[in-house]
Amino acid sequence: MPIKCLLLETKEKRRFFTLVKNRKQLAECCRAFGAKMSIVKAEIKRNQVLDVKKLVSALCDKNYKSEKVEFKKA
């Protein structure tokens, strides 16, 4: 069953899925780094949706690879 979540996509085409409730917190960050933010319905497990702390670590880790996930704009 698809989960409604927030997708962040960087200029380098790296994708991160986080909670929709983090949208306001991440808006300025996305503007500063030129990342795109979209609310999507993704075929993803709950444990693959990053909280803010894990998201920051993943963004800073150039070796972080998110799994390929099917999603549609919500």
Q: Where are the domains of the chain?
A: 3-73
For residue range 7-65, list pLDDT tens digits in order. 999 999 999 999 999 999 999 989 998 999 999 999 999 999 999 999 999 999 999 98
Is residue 66 predicted with pLDDT exceeding 90? no
Pairing of strands 15-18, 71-73: unpaired
Element (H or E) spanning 31, and its range? helix 23-33
- Phi–psi pair at 17, nearest 5 degrees: -110, 130
Nearest CA-CA partner of 3 in 59, 53, 48, 60: 48
**DSSP-based three-state secondary structure for 51:** coil
